Amino acid sequence: MKSKISLLIIEDDKYTRLNLRELLLPYGVLDEAIDASSAKEMLRNNTYDIVLTDIELKQDSGLDLIGQIVKKGSHCIVISSFESDEVIEKAYQLGASHYLSKFDLRKQLPVYIEKFILNKNARLEKFLQEEFITQDKDSISALTALLQANLKNQNLFITGPSGTGKSLLGKLIHEMTHPEAPLIHLNCSEVSESLLESELFGHEKGAFTGADHKKEGKLKQANGGTLFLDEVATMPLSMQQKLLKAIDEKTFYPVGSSNAVRSEFTLISATCENIKEKINQRQFREDLYYRLNGFHFHLKPIAERSNDIDLLIRHFQRMSPRRFVIKQEAIEELKKYSWPGNIRELKKICEQFSQAAGGIIDIGLIKKIIPSEKGNASFSPTDWQDHVRENGLKSLIQDIEKKAVEESMKRNKGKITACIKELKISSSAFYRILQENKLNL
């Protein structure tokens, strides 16, 4: 698996640049800067996997560039014939990864470039073997292509049904673009509309009732790192407009403040809903969608990669402290199920397997544990009355809501928008039912 990377060479000597270009062209895409001024401009407008800089740049010092290079999340390699211990120490203190002598570049530089690429590829291999378990060729090919792109300070939009691993993918992208920087996560569906602006942008003390202290928002916390907005399609339209402005201008105003705050970060957004349908229904801004959708990645449900079910079960078997045996016919039966909750649901089922008496999972036990695709029978009027007498009206309503959502998720194969439309409820009501009943769908 060969990755292509992006590189910037900062070097004022023409012949050294030509030498570096010849060495580095096989590894990816190259940009070149001949002085500190042009280098700063390139670093402002682009992002690079690796930046190589000389120390002595005419009237400037390459040391002054290292901070900006590292802040952009790039791997910094200093190349210099200047070998003062004081300068070398300073370069490492500022964040340089390596300090190489110009006199031995042809032999040494490829070693460090290839090591960088190897580490990048090794992280993907580990991800596929231990975290996102799959042998699906399309998924592996798409993931490899995504990681070959330069995602630093870019926008990534991840779609896919609930439970397919969107948060896992977001974490991987963060680790490979900003390994030392913060990853700030916000699930938009879990925050009320009245508090979402404060969560995103922060607020000043006294900005509203209950604001008894100054609060730093998620956008500011993510400066230099990654902001992950989960379930972004549930964000109210009023907040979508403010987020769009903040992304475009890279500045925002905390609630109650007239002072602009600047923040630069890689933005990863995710949703399990049909975003195009939300746009058509005027529930999501089309201009915000195109702004978020710099790179798009769709995670397939496990119903579309049924060959992974066996792999995933074996993985969860190894994670369980109590061993169990699962018959092949039982696995074949599991492959017929639609898995509306995807990997999250399969993990819960495997946890039940680990507690099963006897430790042998056969097809009979599968039919008892896996919910029927036809759904459960509804309450009869007598059941309602008995339930209300024993548990109260609120409990009955909650139970009906839970069953209705569960059945709708099964019928619609985990497609949130279809469920909301079928149930004729708002997205906020749908997510409230999920949270109140702790449904892992």
User: Which CATH number goes with the domain that contains 332?
Assistant: 1.10.8.60
Domain termination site, one of 345, 369, 393 = 369
pLDDT tens string, the chain, 441 residues long: the values are: 456 788 999 998 888 989 999 999 998 889 999 988 899 999 988 878 899 999 888 777 888 899 889 887 788 999 988 888 999 999 999 989 899 988 878 888 998 898 888 777 787 788 888 888 898 989 988 888 887 676 766 799 999 988 899 999 999 888 877 777 889 999 998 888 888 999 999 998 888 888 889 999 999 999 988 999 999 999 999 899 999 999 999 899 999 999 999 998 889 999 988 899 899 989 999 999 999 998 999 999 998 998 899 999 999 988 888 888 999 999 999 998 888 889 988 998 998 888 887 889 999 888 888 866 544 444 555 556 666 666 678 777 888 888 888 888 878 777 777 788 888 887 778 888 887 776 755
Integer Cα distance of 32 and 41 in angstroms: 11
Same domain, 111 and 76: yes
Query: Do 23 and 106 contact (CB within 8 A), yes or no?
Result: yes
Does the residue 93 lie in any domain?
yes
E-only strand ranges, 64-182:
75-80, 98-101, 155-159
3-state secondary structure of 47: coil
Does the residue 239 lie in any domain?
yes
Same domain, 264 and 309: no
Q: Give the strands of the sheet with 5-10, arranged side by side.
A: 28-33, 5-10, 50-53, 75-80, 98-101
Q: What are phi and psi of 8, to 5 degrees?
A: -125, 130
Integer Cα distance of 336 and 303 in angstroms: 8
Domain count, the chain: 4
3-state secondary structure of 79: strand
Does the residue 441 lie in any domain?
no
Query: Do 7 and 49 contact (CB within 8 A), yes or no?
Result: yes
Q: What is the pTM of this model?
A: 0.68
Query: Do 198 and 186 contact (CB within 8 A), yes or no?
Result: no
Same domain, 107 and 214: no
Same domain, 187 and 260: yes
Does the residue 37 lie in any domain?
yes
Please list the alpha-helical segments (H only) found in 357-392: 363-369, 381-391
Same domain, 25 and 46: yes
Does the residue 221 lie in any domain?
yes
Integer Cα distance of 441 and 407 in angstroms: 11
Which residue segment(s) compose the domain that 323 sits in? 302-369
Domain termination site, one of 313, 341, 369 = 369
Same domain, 142 and 289: yes
